[in-house]
Amino acid sequence: SLFTAYSRTTYFKDINTLEELDKSGLPIGTTSANLKDLFSGVGTAVWESLKSKFSVLTGRGVIVRTSIDRDICCLERLADIHVIISTRYELNDGTVLLHAVKECPRSYYLSYIAKKGWPFKPVFDNVIQRYFEGGKC
């Protein structure tokens, strides 16, 4: 009935794979320009389709659009998104406004060249900057 249709809370099934994400038709966005080549180099039909939907965005936060407007999918680091969800996107009743897809498009290793607090870091940064400005990097 009409009353049942408007009074029943319904949810779409969570997206858990990249193929399901592709079939959803959602555009994919991130604010990190470092991820612009994320879907390059694999060559499968699904990855090419995801690549065509992917863009680096500025302005209103992609995570906010994903949780409130629900008109885009957001790419974030898995380690960060669980903290972001638990601190900003979980309602008082326990309802979570975001869902992390279990399948990961690519893995990166992040590291520091020098230990944090290293006393020679300013000198080291200066040398790296000179190489970069000189076109050596």
Q: In order of start, what are the domains of the chain with their CATH numbers? A: 2-108 (3.40.190)
64 in Cβ contact with 51 (< 8 Å): no
- Kindly report the pTM of this predicted structure: 0.66
- The answer on pLDDT for 5 being more than 90 is no
Question: What is the H or E stretch that residue 56 is in?
Answer: strand 54-56
Residues 31-68: tens digit of each pLDDT:
888 888 888 877 789 989 999 999 998 877 888 888 88
**Residue ranges with strand state E in the chain:** 28-30, 54-56, 73-74
